[in-house]
Amino acid sequence: MCGFTGLVYFERDRIVDAGVLKRMTDSIYHRGPDDEGFHIDGNVGLGFRRLSIIDLYAGHQPLFNEDNSLCIVFNGEIYNYQEQRDLLIQKGYKFKTATDTEVILLLYAEYGVDCLRFLRGMFAFVIYDKREQRLFCARDRFGIKPFYYYKDDEKFVFGSEIKAIISCDKIDKTLSNNALNSYFSFGYIPGDLSIYSKINKLQASQFLLLSLKEKSSYRIENYWRIKFEPDFSRTEHQWKEELVDCLSETVKLHMISDVPLGAFLSGGIDSSSVVAMMARNSTLPVKTFSIGFKEQNFNELAYAREVAKKYNCEHHEQIVEPESINLLPRLVRAYDEPFADSSAIPTYYVSKLAREHVTVALSGDGGDELFAGYDIYSYFSRVYNFPFNLQSKLLNNLLWGNLSRVLPNRGKIKNTIYFLSKERAKMHAYLNIWSPTERSALFAGEYLELAGSSPEFHKLHLLEDGSPDDFVSSLQYLDLRSYMVDDILTKVDRASMLNSLEVRVPLLDHKFAELSFKIPSKLKLKGRDKKHILKSAMKPFLSDNILNHQKQGFSMPLAIWFKDDLISYIKDTLLIGSPKLSSYIDLNFVRSYIEKDSIQDRYFSEKIWSLLFFEEWLTLF
């Protein structure tokens, strides 16, 4: 697990400044405190920070092939690298290291861009191909590892984090209005956008080829797609057996490490299943790490302790309290752009706790998306099957208290809800933090025009781009391509790497995921029983108490804190003096919202957190 950056000038005789490259690389020191490396070849410069995990003493990057015609910087882990290494040796390739990095490089030497289909893991990398005079950049299938890039008329800049790019000279930092609107809608910035209009993300399962022969020649392609292809020929018992075998295998692969390794343990089914499989594949006690809260409705420590006791884990835990809000400036620096998921705070603390004992931790992320674990799936499925009159009423009044605020014209609610019902999963695209109606009151000055655009169309476009016909699968598809990659995985990557901790996600091994795509949705969401097939498969390994307790998630008790401990903090930050966000946000609307007893609104904390984070981001950046 590491971080990389790079700078390419399109003028062949313009030399990359070593000082600039080092400054860019130093900005992501936290991603790799163990080593640094640089390579400058005239107008091409690559920088690297290393967190040593595999082959601790011979994995220096940038790494070259035998004749120095290829050079790679790589962030991530390839879990089948030993198998691929053996196959390459049979083809006559010679290795200088025992790293997965060199396996990627020589797979590229053998197969070119098709090397991606041989990789099983999480990754972002850049290969500088001197012979072909091009850069080959790629990101893993689910977007577990990040990749940002910037291009103008004179240069191409890239990095594992935005801060590496803006550390370069002459970067256009104009804000993206589309990104800003998306942030206040979803709480994160989706797709290929970043908060800066000229900085983009390479999206999950994409590669980018940049020709150095032609100034502006580059192309982006998808090399893998999410495909739900249910197989109705197998029995539920057969699916259960196959799930256990595949999960055990992927967890075993994810445990390959030359440094101490452990697991996040929330007490939910996903992390508990991962720990159970780790215990199955280890002769030593698994090190587990949990975060809790004094507020019992948010505290799952009892369940985590139960699993840890069952498997004789070396268990560690910590309580997060309201004072953790002081972490906000550090989080803002870590994320580089507005990011309103407050569970970044407990994710930071569990990563910090784990790093005191291990260098690698496995997590259970991805289980809700693969096995239909979110409450909203069950709710939408029930509502969708109701008679139209009842369906309209429920969607209007009950949809988490939010959909009615999304609709732009209350007089057209019935027609709109009918449209949403007929369009099935498109309902899911219209759940957000600040609704379009609210955003029209929220934005101020020149940014008021943002209220006329609809970031929801991004999700609607995703649904049109390969979404399955099955209703539940289409909800999963949308979350896998948006919420999971741009919120959940982004949150975990930044919070863990801020602590120089590598987090691995075995449930998002693409072989395991592809197996889940074949399981009929009726076995994932069976009536109101979410994750039915996964829970059935894990019955021999986890108690009914773990499998069936009410899902609490990894959320913060912000609503309680904001009501009691932090209400003065909110008012001081957002309403007193001259907050930076006053150039973007109508403070009168914010004031009226805070003072009209909106604090009782279950969405109050999400909305206020989005404003607090944005204010701190404006202050720092």
Distance in angstroms between the alpha carbons of the first and the last residue of the chain: 27
The single-letter code of the amino acid at 26 is D
Burial of 582 (C-beta count, 10 Å sphere; 0-12/13-18/19+):
middle
Pull the structure tokens for residue 133. 């005079």
Which residue is catalytic, options 2, 71, 246, 313? Answer: 2
What does the alpha-carbon distance between residue 599 and residue 607 come to, in Å, rounded to a whole number? Answer: 10
Catalytic residue check, 137 = no
Instruction: Using the structure block, give the residue that is written with the tokens 């690389």.
Output: 25
Helix 587-595 crosses helix 567-574 at what angle (to 10 degrees)? 160
Alpha carbons 188 and 182: distance in angstroms, whole number: 7
The DSSP symbol for 529 reads: B
Both tokens of 111, joined, read 């197969």
d(CA 593, CA 607): 10
Compute, in degrees rounded to 10, the torsion defined by CA atoms 601, 603, 607, 612: 80
Q: Are 363 and 298 in contact (CB under 8 A)?
A: no
Give the list of residues 6+ apart from residue 323 with CB closer than 8 angstroms, or none: none
Q: Hey, what are 467's tokens?
A: 């979404």
* Crossing angle between the packed helical segments 604-620 and 177-186, to the nearest 10 degrees: 150
Taking CA atoms, 25 is separated from 1, 33, 108, 536, in Å, by 15, 11, 25, 47
Other Cβ atoms closer than 10 A to 83: 14
Could you tell me if 168 and 175 are in contact, meaning their C-beta atoms sit under 8 angstroms apart? no
Residues forming the active site: 2
